Amino acid sequence: MTKASLIFLMTATILLGMFFFDHWQRLNIFEPTHQLYPTPDEMGVPYKDIWLTIRNMENEDKGILHGWWLPNKEASMLYLHGSESTIATDLDKILQIWNAGYSVLAIDYRGFGQSTKMLPNENSVTEDAMAAWDYLKTLSDSKNFHGIYGHSLGSAIAINIGKRHPEVDYLVLEGSFSSMADIIKETTPYRWLPSLLLTQKFESMKNIQGIAIPKLFIHCRSDEIVPFFLGEKLYQAAGLPKTRLILEKGGHQTCSHADAALWKNAMRMIMSKNSST
């Protein structure tokens, strides 16, 4: 084998290994799922299916985004779910936001639910959330106040949007974390993975610095998926204005229901602060 052939073979092997390593990371971080039911009408709540075409800078079609629009009387929230979830799995939380008085636009990123099938990455889910954010502001029955509610991985995506869109009126971050590197180090068997090799970084602690948007952090001390101290780490890194709601009971998926009255009061407080400005 010639030297040139050996170099080519080694390069091809490295590139192939990097491809599969990235694929493995994305599968394990996003865990795309396609649960479609229940839907809001099964709970007696009117809604509309939303379909958005995602396009690149050359206006080429990159896929379809599916979501729900639940209109209400007051402010509007974009809801961003976490990994291994869909808007259907998170319907209870979506309805909880709606029952607090908010219109809700909830989306499934490409790779989830009824949206275009693909393996997501940080860029694609951020791109999807930005498209949904832009769409929310065009809705004729959307109100003047527009916030983003991110749960778990959705909180990191919400921070990505807030970094790019200072016009966001409020960020609600439930079960948030400092970075994907910290999540892997603290909660998975892959703590040996060097952060330099991590392709899906979600560096929320870095990205939240400089964001002047008002922020509400919600976390349960007994969160079994995202340790409370990682949310605390992010909260301490965030600039003002910020506030937080710490709940003593409840798990990662049930935190907002652990003390529903306290949670609702915090969500209503957001609207009252907005109406007084």
Note the pLDDT of residue 47.
98
CB 239 within 8 A of CB 212: yes
136 half-sphere exposure, CB direction, 13 A CA radius: 32
Bigger pLDDT: 192 vs 52: 52
Distance CA 238, CA 7 (A): 47
Closest alpha carbon to 183 in 197, 159, 171, 201? 201
The pLDDT of 194-208, averaged and rounded, is 92
| Identity at 192, one-letter amino acid code | W
Domains of the chain, by residue range, sit at 3-275
CB 158 within 8 A of CB 130: no
Task: Work out the number of other CB atoms within 10 angstroms of the CB of residue 179.
Answer: 21
pTM for this model (two decimals) = 0.92
22: helix, coil or strand? helix
Task: Work out the number of other CB atoms within 10 angstroms of the CB of residue 260.
Answer: 13
Note the pLDDT of residue 144.
78
- pLDDT at residue 174 greater than cutoff 70: yes
Radius of gyration of the chain (CA): 20
CB 106 within 8 A of CB 96: no
Element (H, E) at 264: helix 260-275
- pLDDT at residue 275 greater than cutoff 60: no
CB 147 within 8 A of CB 100: no
Indicate the fold that domain 3-275 takes in CATH. Answer: Rossmann fold (3.40.50)
- pLDDT at residue 181 greater than cutoff 60: yes
Element (H, E) at 171: strand 170-174
Report the range of poorest mean pLDDT among 7-21, 34-48, 81-95, 137-151. 7-21
Alpha helices in 100-200 (DSSP H): 122-136, 153-164, 180-187
- pLDDT at residue 18 greater than cutoff 70: no
Q: What tokens does 42 get?
A: 């099964």
Note the pLDDT of residue 19.
54
Distance CA 129, CA 148 (A): 10
- List Cβ neighbours of 208 (8 Å cut-off, separation of 6 or more): 159, 162, 163, 215, 234, 237, 238, 239
- List Cβ neighbours of 125 (8 Å cut-off, separation of 6 or more): 30, 109, 110, 157
- pLDDT at residue 276 greater than cutoff 90: no
| Identity at 251, one-letter amino acid code | G
- pLDDT at residue 84 greater than cutoff 80: yes
Strands 48-55 and 61-70: antiparallel
